[in-house]
């Protein structure tokens, strides 16, 4: 973590706190202070701009709307809808990708043949499929589900195929010369070798999918947090929009910290194959 | 354990042998696309015949509409990239270098980062109106948070020994930043560039579709209203090809020239 900074910056003001019992709680206190400063700046900027609360919400109006939306049971409905869409889309997308990955990946020749097509379809981002999906199915939940499946399936499939192709032939030959059957080669060599690739693809896909969810719900849904955000802006009730945005952030943090990172740690980091990369 | 780092060898072999067989799946796809509208009674808005799409492409090339859309989209992406990074570098360095700043700012940043850039679009529309302002806001937001993470990770990956070495040779103040921190962090930033641009690209297309008044994303979504499926399909293909071109022309050579040559492959 910040040991590098700690070594160099031994004269910094917080070094003083070392003698105080406060020190142990310093990260927490500073973290809360950070949020307090942001909220204070937000409030001050609202006063300074002098815009209507409908166009530029204040922290208080957002809190008010938040409580209101929970009391009326509106927010929980949107959260559950978004959650259900996300989980089902990611799950189906992963299963599709794994099935196709195994089908294509069993044979190096097939994997090599399919890889460029998979790469091309991966490059046509799910966002640009949404207009066509809308033409096919109209504005509705099908569009979102398809976009989510698409956005998860291609990074996973692409990474699995590159994984298959990057297994050195020597390993396969070595295991085969020891008398392994084809099935054993796949189970003992190929699958363990591509697990890190699978995880990289899954991580990327899960991140993209969350954005696709927001986008899909803005365009083609009548429920969900994306819809709440969009509806709030349309009704010029921006407090609703901000409540939706904050709920979205909390939801993603929850996913990221409770599911994705532990999963990554359990697989990649244990083998020393950390590929932690930007997750804007 | 087969490390992903061994990828270049087969990949190089693949390129050398000219992977012609990979054209087969594309050919099958095009063949299906050719045959289906002829044999089955598919309405135009569901699947435009391949010929119509090519005609539309020529029309748009001739009228110059395609060029102006593509240039407007790429220009926005570029502007968003420059502004986003100009903001991300100083803050990222400050967070990585000072424990005080890190403890104060990082929780807020992590929280803000988890609010997807695209979720800002509706608010941006209210503040900046439909058009370039809103789309640019969303791209800057996305690129900023994506690269902030890379800058922090990059600066933190610099070994403390190097800092001591620079100091013991008399490096002070700006020299440390200019000669050590920025080049040191650049590595990680380059490695993460592809990922952050992938997020930025999606933000651009999505932003144009919801809030744009120009650009390839806007044109594609606009066509949905008039059931012009040929324009929609053409837009999709162009979005895909543009990303592949950016990837091949910019990021792959960039990574090859810098990260791989310096022996710091991460994948």
Co-location of B100 and B200 in the same domain:
yes
Residue A64 belongs to a domain: yes
Q: Is residue A245 part of a domain?
A: yes
Is the complex ipTM higher than 0.90?
Answer: no
Query: Tokens at residue A117, please?
Result: 């097509």
pLDDT at A142: 92
B166 touches A at CB < 8 Å: no
For range B174-183, the mean pLDDT: 84
pLDDT tens track for B80-117: 999 999 999 999 999 998 889 999 998 999 899 888 88
**b/e string for A114-129 if b means 16 or more Cβ within 10 A?**
bbbbbbbbbbbbbbbb
Give residue for tokens 């040929």: B230
Shared-domain flag, residues A76 and A41: no
Say if residue A166 is in the same domain as residue A31.
Answer: no
Tell me: pLDDT of A157 over 60: yes
What sign has the CA pseudo-torsion A56, A61, A67, A73?
Answer: negative
CB contact under 8 A, A278 and B196: yes
> Of A95-99, B130-134, B164-168, where does mean pLDDT reach its minimum?
B164-168
For A190-227, write each residue's pLDDT tens digit: 888 888 889 889 988 999 999 999 999 998 888 999 99
Residues A214-271: tens digit of each pLDDT = 999 998 888 999 999 999 998 989 999 999 999 999 999 998 888 888 887 877 666 5
Q: Is the pLDDT of residue A18 over 70?
A: no
Residues of A in contact with B206 (CB under 8 A): 127, 211, 215
Domain housing B145: 63-262
A170 interface with B at CB cutoff 8 Å? no
Considering the domain architecture, whether residues A22 and A64 belong to the same structural domain is answered as no
Q: Are residues B27 and B129 in the same domain?
A: no
- Residues in A 199-238 with any Cβ partner in B closer than 8 A: 200, 204, 208, 210-212, 214-215, 218-219, 226, 229-230, 232-234, 236, 238
For B115, the closest chain A residue by CA position comes to: A249
What is the model's pLDDT at position B183?
84
How many domains are contained in chain A? 2
Please indicate, yes or no, if residue A276 is contained in any of the structural domains.
no
B57 in a domain, yes or no?
A: no
Structure token digits, residue A126? 């799910």
B184 CB near a chain A CB, below 8 Å? no
Q: Do B70 and B35 reside in the same domain of the chain?
A: no
Q: Are residues B131 and B162 in the same domain?
A: yes
Q: Which of A208, A118, A128 is nearest to A159 (CA)?
A: A118
C-alpha B265/C-alpha A275 separation (Å) is: 11
The total of structural domains in chain B comes to 2
DSSP state letters, B222-254: HHHHTT-HHHHHHHHHHHHHHHHHHIIIIIHHH
Residues B31 and B2 in one domain: yes
Q: Is the same domain home to A173 and A38?
A: no
B232 touches A: beta carbon within 8 Å = yes
Q: Give the mean pLDDT of chain A.
A: 85
Binary contact (A127, B205; C-beta < 8 A): yes
Residue of B218, B219, B93 lying closest to B147 (CA atoms): B93
Task: Report pLDDT for B18.
Answer: 56
User: What DSSP line would sit under B10-22, residue for residue?
Assistant: HHHHHHHT--GGG
Are B31 and B117 members of one domain? no
Using 50, 70 and 90 to split pLDDT, how confident is the model at A7? Answer: very low
Residues A43, A78 within the same domain? no
Chain A (122-141) residues lying within 8 Å, Cβ to Cβ, of chain B:
123-125, 127-132, 134-136
Q: What tokens appear for B14 in the block?
A: 């693949």
Alpha helices in chain B (DSSP H): 8-16, 23-39, 50-63, 65-97, 99-114, 121-128, 132-156, 160-168, 174-176, 182-211, 216-225, 229-246, 252-255
Q: What is the CA radius of gyration of chain A?
A: 24
Whether A277 contacts B145, CB under 8 Å: no
Question: Do A163 and A115 touch, CB atoms closer than 8 A?
Answer: no
Task: Tell which residue, A160, A136, A140, A154, has the closest CA to residue A93.
Answer: A154
Q: Is residue A28 domain-resident? A: yes
Proportion of chain A in helix, strand, coil states, percent, rounded to 5: 85, 0, 15
Q: Which domain covers residue A254, as residue numbers?
A: 59-270
- Is residue B206 situated within a structural domain? yes
- Does A171 reach chain B within 8 Å, measured CB to CB? yes
Tell me the C-alpha distance between B233 and A270, whole Å. 44
Residue pointed to by tokens 């938040």 = A66
pLDDT at residue B172 in the model: 80
pLDDT in tens, A64-111: 999 999 999 999 999 999 999 999 999 999 999 988 988 888 788 888
| Domain assignment present for B190 | yes
Q: What is the DSSP letter of A75?
A: H
B145 and B30 within one domain: no
Based on the fold, state whether residues B121 and B185 are members of the same structural domain. Answer: yes
In a domain, A54, yes or no: no
A277 pLDDT above the threshold of 50: no
């Amino acid at each position: 973590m910040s040991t590098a900074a700690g070594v160099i910056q031994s004269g910094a003001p917080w070094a003083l706190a070392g003698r105080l019992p406060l020190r142990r709680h310093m990260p927490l206190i500073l973290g809360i202070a950070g949020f307090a400063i942001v909220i204070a700046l937000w409030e001050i900027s609202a006063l300074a701009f002098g815009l209507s609360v409908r166009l530029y919400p204040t922290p208080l109006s957002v809190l008010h709307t938040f409580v209101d939306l929970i009391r009326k049971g509106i927010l929980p409905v949107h959260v559950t809808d978004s959650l259900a869409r996300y989980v089902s889309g990611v799950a189906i997308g992963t299963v599709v990708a794994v099935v196709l990955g195994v089908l294509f990946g069993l044979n190096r020749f097939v994997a090599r043949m399919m890889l460029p097509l998979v790469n091309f379809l991966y490059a046509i981002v799910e966002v640009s499929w949404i207009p066509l999906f809308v033409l096919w199915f109209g504005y509705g939940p099908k569009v979102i589900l398809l976009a989510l499946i698409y956005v998860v399936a291609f990074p996973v499939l692409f990474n699995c195929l590159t994984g298959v192709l990057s297994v050195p032939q020597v390993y396969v030959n070595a295991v085969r010369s020891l008398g392994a059957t084809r099935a054993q080669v796949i189970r003992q060599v190929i699958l363990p070798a591509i697990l890190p690739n699978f995880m990289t693809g899954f991580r990327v896909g899960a991140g993209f999918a969350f954005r696709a969810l927001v986008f899909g719900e803005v365009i083609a849904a009548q429920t969900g947090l994306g819809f709440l955000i969009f509806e709030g802006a349309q009704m010029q009730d921006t407090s609703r929009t901000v409540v939706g945005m904050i709920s979205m952030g909390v939801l993603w943090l929850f996913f990221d910290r409770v599911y994705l990172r532990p999963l990554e740690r359990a697989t990649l980091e244990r083998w020393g194959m950390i590929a932690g990369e930007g997750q804007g | 354990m087969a490390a992903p780092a061994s990828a270049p060898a087969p990949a190089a072999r693949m390129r050398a042998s000219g992977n012609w067989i990979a054209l087969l799946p594309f050919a099958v796809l095009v063949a299906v696309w050719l045959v289906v509208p002829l044999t089955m009674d598919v309405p135009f808005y569901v699947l435009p015949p391949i010929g119509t799409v090519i005609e539309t492409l020529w029309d748009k090339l001739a009228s110059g509409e395609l060029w102006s859309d593509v240039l407007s989209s790429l220009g926005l992406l570029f502007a968003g990239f420059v502004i986003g990074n100009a903001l991300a570098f100083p803050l990222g360095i400050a967070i990585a270098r000072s424990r005080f700043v890190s403890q104060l700012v990082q929780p807020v940043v992590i929280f803000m980062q988890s609010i997807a850039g695209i979720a800002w679009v509706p608010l941006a529309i209210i503040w900046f109106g439909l058009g370039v302002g809103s789309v640019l806001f969303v791209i800057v937001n996305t690129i900023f948070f994506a690269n902030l993470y890379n800058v922090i990770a990059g600066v933190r990956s610099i070994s403390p020994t190097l800092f001591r070495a620079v100091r013991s040779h008399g490096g002070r103040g700006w020299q440390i930043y200019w000669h050590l921190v920025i080049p040191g962090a650049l590595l990680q930033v380059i490695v993460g560039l592809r990922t952050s641009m992938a997020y930025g690209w999606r933000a651009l297309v999505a932003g144009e579709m919801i809030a744009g008044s120009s650009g390839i994303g806007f044109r594609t979504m606009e066509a949905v209203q008039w059931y012009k499926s040929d324009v929609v399909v053409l837009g999709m293909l162009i979005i895909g090809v543009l990303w592949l071109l950016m990837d091949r022309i910019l990021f792959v050579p960039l990574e090859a020239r810098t990260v791989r040559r310096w022996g710091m492959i991460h994948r």
